[in-house]
Amino acid sequence: MDQTKITFPPLLNGHEFHETNPLTTSDVNIISESPVRATKLILDTHKKIKDKKLGAGDLVWSTSTDVAHCAVVLEPEISAEKTLTMVPMAMVTIADCLGAICPPNLGITFRWPGQIFANGARIGNVSLYFPTLTSYDEIPDFAVLSIALNIKWTDEKNTSLQTEPGNDLRKTVLHEEGAGDIDRSQIISSWSRHFLTWLDTWQQEGFEPIHENWLFRAADRNEQTEIRGSNQTFNGQFIGLDEIGGALLKSESGNMHLITLKEIWQKSPNSQLG
Query: 202 and 67 in one domain?
Result: yes
- Whether residues 59 and 137 share a domain: the answer is yes
Q: What is the CATH number of the domain that holds 57?
A: 3.30.930.10
User: How many domains in the chain?
Assistant: 2
The answer for residues whose C-beta is within 8 angstroms of residue 12's C-beta and 6 or more apart is 57, 58, 59, 72, 192, 195, 196
Residue 266 scores a pLDDT above 50: yes
Residue 2 lies in a domain: no
- Please state the pTM of the whole predicted model: 0.91
Answer for the pair 151, 182: CB distance below 8 angstroms, yes or no.
Answer: yes
> Could you tell me the CATH number of the domain that includes residue 245?
2.30.30
Q: Are residues 188 and 253 in the same domain?
A: no
Q: Looking at the structure, do residues 228 and 255 belong to the same domain, yes or no?
A: yes
Is position 125 within any domain?
A: yes
Residues 186 and 248 in one domain: no
Residue 22 — pLDDT band, cuts 50, 70, 90? low
Average the pLDDT over 237-247 and give the result: 95
* pLDDT band at residue 159 using 50, 70 and 90 as cut-offs: very low
Domain final residue pick, 177, 197, 216: 216
pLDDT at 164 over 60: no
pLDDT at 156: 47
Instruction: Please report whether residue 38 resides in a domain.
Output: yes
Is residue 6, in this structure, part of any structural domain at all? no
What is the rounded distance in angstroms from the CA atom of residue 226 to the CA atom of residue 233?
Answer: 7
Residue in 5, 198, 167, 178 with CA at minimum distance from that of residue 95:
198
Instruction: Please state, rounded to an integer, the average pLDDT across all residues of the chain.
Output: 87
Residue 38, pLDDT score? 86
Based on the domain organization, do 242 and 158 belong to the same domain? no
Whether residues 151 and 41 share a domain: the answer is: yes
Cβ neighbours of 274 (radius 10 Å) = 10
Q: In the chain, where does DSSP find H-type helix?
A: 25-28, 40-50, 80-83, 86-101, 184-205, 208-216, 261-267
Q: Are residues 32 and 95 in the same domain?
A: yes
Same-domain status, 228 and 212: no
Give a yes or no: residue 257 inside a domain: yes
Instruction: Please report whether residue 175 resides in a domain.
Output: yes
Res 274 pLDDT > 50: yes
Domain that holds residue 31: 13-216
pLDDT of 54 reads 98
Query: Do 175 and 237 fall within a single domain?
Result: no
161 vs 92, higher pLDDT: 92
pLDDT of residue 268: 82
Question: 160 and 105: one domain?
Answer: yes
pLDDT tens column, 124-157? 999 999 999 899 999 999 999 999 999 988 764 4
75 and 26 share one domain: yes
